[in-house]
């Protein structure tokens, strides 16, 4: 029995139908990825499933007691609460109690007032009675995995960090149906990898909008596509969908061509003179009228964007040469003893956790910051185009055309003057959208608009900071082709693993404590070249025990004495867990390789099954550890 069902749902904004009598069922255990072009209505469909907007027609049915959580593409929440409070708020019943306990424990850390101690003990008893400690551990785990500071104020966070908090809020409530709209945006690769593992073990129904091809390949059990208002289902993995979709489009194109040829013949016949009137068949006239109406109703597939970059004059052969440079913020090393040489035509990927210093490295290379030590030599005749989503922010109230032409009707691209309407049509903006405010655009459309503005500038050094967020797959592939044909030099900051593999020729990786490793090739090449990482838990020799309710609470009595058999089991658990985690880490690296899914199906299935078994066995070991330690 499905968890939810959509039956003949329709939704239109203005004259355009976003959803045209779509049907959908979601069942427990499914991991469904929703794909489609930017602006097709994918986010609107998720909002409708979540019950946030109502359809114009059709029926939405949700099984009673089913819980639905939704991570929207844009963060609308405004709050001065702490991050812990916002995340705990995703728990419908226990969130308030956990938040109050969290604040009471924080107060007790700075004072020892008798009233605070009593209140903390009261909250402990309430949480124990309601089974709240497991939920608190879930909140703390999600905060830790997404590297969130629970005590930080939500209102002071940037847009990217707010989105990460809202992702944690959606994950923590363990819903029956989880709706995620571009969940990997603003996450670093480590967080994306953790999210993949979390989602792979998720027991409910999962519906994801994502253009991260590696993420979709890893997770999806079914692809659904929203194309020209219609929803189609494609069982199987993402690569199988691509093959079958290409074949379906070829059949559709041939069918349309045959229909158009027949329509042209009938139009020629009806326009014949007296001879045609004498032999005219009224049934044939009615058929022609029906064909005209069918052609009028047909929604042609949106064309591809025409991305072109205005090349600047050729730069010098040397672009950057860094010798033993170091840089620190407030005494904390960001870049340490780093040397590299970047030549004209190099395409360099920059990878690392959020906050590790990727933007700082770019500013050092461009001369916006000066290193504390070492030397940077820059080449000649550099024309820089910098795509920085934080600084190149669009005015939401400005019209689309004004965001590119700055009040003019013409732009200069590659030394040639063009009307802004024609230029923006290359980026799939129709004339009727040019006067629309930027606030009405989807996330992918805004990113296309940023690229359109950037590509008006001639450049021989292109610096792109997360250019792929929200772009649909077809536009992503076009951007890849443009960058591969670009004759200048590219510095690319990205967490899109497939994009890095397809574009860059070398990769700079932030490896901790200011160290930067340089590797030939893209992300997958780096995975193959790096040494096997030792799991963090293994380095401690002992898994981290579950946090206790409060350090100030009275002791619960003497610990129970273990039997000889249980003590031996407890002593053996750290080594067992270390071995399982090492195997899990190796398998995760294998399954993250894009070539993994090109193997025989039996090999893929066996490896994925073993990965799931390892996760279950580790969970059992941790639970047994806590039981024996308690």
Grade residue 172 by pLDDT with cuts at 50, 70 and 90: confident
Q: How many CB atoms lie within 10 A of CB 82?
A: 20
Grade residue 537 by pLDDT with cuts at 50, 70 and 90: very low
Mean pLDDT value across residues 302-331: 80
CA distance 157 to 165: 9
First-residue to last-residue Cα distance in the chain: 41
Identify whether residues 226 and 257 lie together within a single domain: no
Identify whether residues 208 and 345 lie together within a single domain: no
Identify whether residues 491 and 551 lie together within a single domain: no
Structure tokens at 236: 């199987």
Q: What is the pTM of this model?
A: 0.64
CA distance 559 to 327: 50
CA distance 224 to 217: 14
309 found inside a domain: no
What are the tens digits of pLDDT across the range 586-616? 877 776 665 666 677 677 777 777 877 887 7
> pLDDT value at position 539?
45
125 found inside a domain: no
What are the tens digits of pLDDT across the range 289-298? 777 766 666 5
- Which residue(s) pair with 311 in the sheet? 459
Identify whether residues 22 and 71 lie together within a single domain: yes
183 found inside a domain: yes
Task: With beta carbons less than 8 A apart as the criterion, state whether 628 and 566 touch.
Answer: yes
128 found inside a domain: no
Task: With beta carbons less than 8 A apart as the criterion, state whether 511 and 89 touch.
Answer: no
Identify whether residues 327 and 462 lie together within a single domain: yes
324 found inside a domain: yes
Identify whether residues 281 and 342 lie together within a single domain: no
Residue with token string 């605070």: 116
Strands (E), 437-483: 461-465
Strands (E), 210-352: 222-227, 230-235, 318-329, 332-343, 347-351
Identify whether residues 503 and 553 lie together within a single domain: no
CA distance 188 to 195: 11
CA distance 531 to 413: 46
pLDDT at 404 over 90: no
**Residue after which a domain boundary falls, among 189, 211, 237:** 237
pLDDT at 240 over 70: yes
pLDDT at 276 over 60: no
Instruction: Return the higher-pLDDT residue of 424 and 297.
Output: 424
CA distance 498 to 239: 13
**H or E stretch at 572:** helix 564-592
pLDDT at 330 over 50: yes
Mean pLDDT value across residues 148-155: 86
Range of the domain at 18: 4-91+153-237
**DSSP H helical ranges for 331-442:** 358-366, 400-405, 420-425
Q: Which of 103, 90, 72 is nearest to 138 (CA)?
A: 90
**236: phi then psi, degrees, rounded to nearest 5:** 105, -170
Residue with token string 């001879």: 275
pLDDT at 535 over 50: no
Q: Give percent of the chain with pLDDT exceeding 70.
A: 80
Mean pLDDT value across residues 79-91: 82
Instruction: Return the higher-pLDDT residue of 158 and 319.
Output: 319
> pLDDT value at position 552?
35
Q: What is the mean pLDDT of the chain?
A: 79
Q: What is the DSSP letter of 82?
A: B
Q: Give percent of the chain with pLDDT exceeding 90.
A: 18
Q: Count of domains in the chain?
A: 4
Identify whether residues 174 and 31 lie together within a single domain: yes
Task: Calculate Rg over the CA atoms of the chain.
Answer: 29
**Residue after which a domain boundary falls, among 502, 529, 556:** 529
SS3 338: strand
Grade residue 545 by pLDDT with cuts at 50, 70 and 90: very low
**Residue after which a domain boundary falls, among 508, 529, 550:** 529
CA distance 371 to 474: 40
> pLDDT value at position 8?
92
For the ranges 265-269, 365-369, 585-589, 604-608, the maximum mean pLDDT occurs at: 365-369
CB-neighbour burial class of residue 621 (10 A; exposed 0-12, middle 13-18, buried 19+) = middle
Structure tokens at 383: 């024309």
The domain that holds 515 is classified in CATH as 3.40.50.300
> pLDDT value at position 331?
84
Task: With beta carbons less than 8 A apart as the criterion, state whether 102 and 123 touch.
Answer: no
Residues 6+ apart with CB under 8 A from 13: 44
CA distance 98 to 132: 7
């Amino acid at each position: 029995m499905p968890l939810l069902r959509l039956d003949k749902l329709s939704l239109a904004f203005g004259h355009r139908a976003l959803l045209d009598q779509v049907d959908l069922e979601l069942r427990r255990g499914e991991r469904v990825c929703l794909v489609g072009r930017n602006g097709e209505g994918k986010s609107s469909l998720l909002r409708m499933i979540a019950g946030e907007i109502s359809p114009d027609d059709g029926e939405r049915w949700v099984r009673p007691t089913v819980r639905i959580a939704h991570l929207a593409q844009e963060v609308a929440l405004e709050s001065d609460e702490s991050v812990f409070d916002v995340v705990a708020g995703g728990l419908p019943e226990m969130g308030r109690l956990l938040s109050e306990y969290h604040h009471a424990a924080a107060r007790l850390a700075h004072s020892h007032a008798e009233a605070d101690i009593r209140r903390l003990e009261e909250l402990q008893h309430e949480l124990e009675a309601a089974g709240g400690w497991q939920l608190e551990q879930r909140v703390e785990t999600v905060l830790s995995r997404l590297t969130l500071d629970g005590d930080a104020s939500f209102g002071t966070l940037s847009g990217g960090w707010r989105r990460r908090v809202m992702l944690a809020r959606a994950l923590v409530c363990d819903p029956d149906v989880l709706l995620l709209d571009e969940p990997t945006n603003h996450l670093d690769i480590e967080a994306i990898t953790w999210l993949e593992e979390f989602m792979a073990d998720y027991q409910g129904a999962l519906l994801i909008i994502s253009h991260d091809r590696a993420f979709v390949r890893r997770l999806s059990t079914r692809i659904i596509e929203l194309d020209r208002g219609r929803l189609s289902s494609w069982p199987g993995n993402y690569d199988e969908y691509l093959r079958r979709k290409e074949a379906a489009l070829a059949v559709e194109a041939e069918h349309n061509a045959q229909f158009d040829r027949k329509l042209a013949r009938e139009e020629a016949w009806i326009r014949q003179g007296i001879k045609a009137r004498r032999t005219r068949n009224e049934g044939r006239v009615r058929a022609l009228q029906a064909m005209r109406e069918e052609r009028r109703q047909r929604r042609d597939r949106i064309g591809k964007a025409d991305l072109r970059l205005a090349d600047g004059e050729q730069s010098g052969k040397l672009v950057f040469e860094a010798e033993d440079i170091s840089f620190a913020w407030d005494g904390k090393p960001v870049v340490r003893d780093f040397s590299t040489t970047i030549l004209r035509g190099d395409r360099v990927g920059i990878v690392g956790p959020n906050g590790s210093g990727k933007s700082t490295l770019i500013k050092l290379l461009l001369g916006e910051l000066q290193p504390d030590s070492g030397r940077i030599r820059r080449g000649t005749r550099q024309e820089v185009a910098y795509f920085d989503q934080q600084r190149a922010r669009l005015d939401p109230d400005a019209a689309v055309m004004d965001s590119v032409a700055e009040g003019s009707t013409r732009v200069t691209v590659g030394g040639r003057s063009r009307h802004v309407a024609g230029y923006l049509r290359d980026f799939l903006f129709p004339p009727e959208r040019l006067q629309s405010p930027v606030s009405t655009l989807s996330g992918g459309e805004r990113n296309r608009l940023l690229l359109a503005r950037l590509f008006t500038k001639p450049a021989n050094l292109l610096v792109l900071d997360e250019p792929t967020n929200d772009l649909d797959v077809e536009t992503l592939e076009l951007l890849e082709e443009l960058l591969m044909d670009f004759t200048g030099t590219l510095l690319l900051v990205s967490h899109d693993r497939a994009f890095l593999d397809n574009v860059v020729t070398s990769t700079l990786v932030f490896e901790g404590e200011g160290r930067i490793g340089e590797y030939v090739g893209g992300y997958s090449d780096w995975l193959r070249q790096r040494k096997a990482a030792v799991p963090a838990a293994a380095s401690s020799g002992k898994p981290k025990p579950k946090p206790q309710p409060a350090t100030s609470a009275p002791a619960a009595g003497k610990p129970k004495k273990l039997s000889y058999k249980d003590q031996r089991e407890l002593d053996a658990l750290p080594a067992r867990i270390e071995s399982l985690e090492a195997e899990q880490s190796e398998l995760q690296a294998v399954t993250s390789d894009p070539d993994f899914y090109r193997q025989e199906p039996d090999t893929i299935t066996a490896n994925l099954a073993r990965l799931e078994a390892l996760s279950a066995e580790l969970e059992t070991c941790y639970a047994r550890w806590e039981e024996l330690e308690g």
